[in-house]
Amino acid sequence: MKKLIAGNHKMFTGVKEGLALASEIARNAADFGNAQVVLFPPFTHLCVFHEQLQGLPLETGAQNCSDMPEGAFTGEVSAGMIKSTGATHVLLGHSERRTLFGEGHELLCRKINQALDAGLQVVYCFGENLQDMEEGHRFSKIEEQLQAVFESFSQDELDHLVLAYEPVWAIGTGKTASLHEAEEAHAFARELMRNKYGTDAGNELRILYGGSVKATNARELLSSSEIGGVLVGGASLDAAEFLQIIQAAG
């Protein structure tokens, strides 16, 4: 299976700048090799990205979606609207949404439900923060975040879900989890899936790593069979560096 290389642009770039970034990446599509590439720009960029990148092996996704299908919810964007831009993916459960916007398990499960109903692939983020790590609650935090989802969806539904392990202490800090730390969190998540839905479901689960991924550490992370790809923040805003990360997928 190809490695998934995802770029989370967060709340950066205007439309022109974002499009220039995406076009520069797309110009090098011949070098994508073993990578499936998905860009997550702000909502405002999705339509124009899709129009300009048509026919190229570059997919798009949103960084969030509403937990409601439609209605008088000023400022919200539904999963169906995201799908209608041509996007294929949505990122849910990112630690910035959990901590800065107070998103909890119940809300996130409703959002996942909307995304699956709309036919989007979900990239669901999980991971412990520094305090969990220091107090020895790392795995219980991961278990809590994943069980809430595994218990709410069927195995068929979870086929449309990719996990992204993002230890909060590694996001935007320059500190990457060691390969061992990433592999043990991935293996733990996979085991939870196996316990719930059996060996095949656990083995087939795609789990990305995110948190200070750079051109300099991507090759080592992507060489692991436990790591199905990477979710890149800061380094995805630099086309040359993001291309090096794509090429590190082999």
Catalytic residues: 94, 166
Closest separation in Å from C-beta 238 to ligand 13P: 11
Q: Exactly one of 79, 146, 171, 243 binds ligand 13P (CB under 6 A); which one?
A: 171
Which residue number, 128 or 166, has a Cβ lying nearer to ligand 13P?
Answer: 166
Coil, helix or strand at residue 95: helix
d(CA 115, CA 153): 12
For residue 86, state whether it binds ligand 13P (rule: CB under 6 A): no
71 C-beta neighbours (distance < 10 Å), count:
9
Do 239 and 177 meet the contact criterion of CB atoms below 8 Å apart? no
State how far the Cα of 195 lies from the Cα of 13, in Å rounded to an integer.
Answer: 42
- Lookup: tokens for 167: 């230890």
- x/- binding map, residues 43-82, to ligand 13P, per CB under 6 A? ----------------------------------------
Residue 226 corresponds to which tokens in the numbers above?
């436990």
Q: Which is nearer to ligand 13P, 197 or 241 (CB)?
A: 241
Rg of the chain's alpha carbons, rounded to an integer? 17
- Return the DSSP state at 64: -
Q: For 236, which DSSP code? A: G
Query: For residues 193 and 235, which CB has a smaller minimum distance to ligand 13P in the complex?
Result: 235
* x-or-dash string of contact with ligand 13P, 197-226, rule CB under 6 A: -------------xxxx-------------
> Count of residues binding ligand 13P (CB under 6 A)?
14
Q: Which residues bind ligand 13P (CB under 6 A)?
A: 8, 94, 166, 171-172, 210-213, 231-235
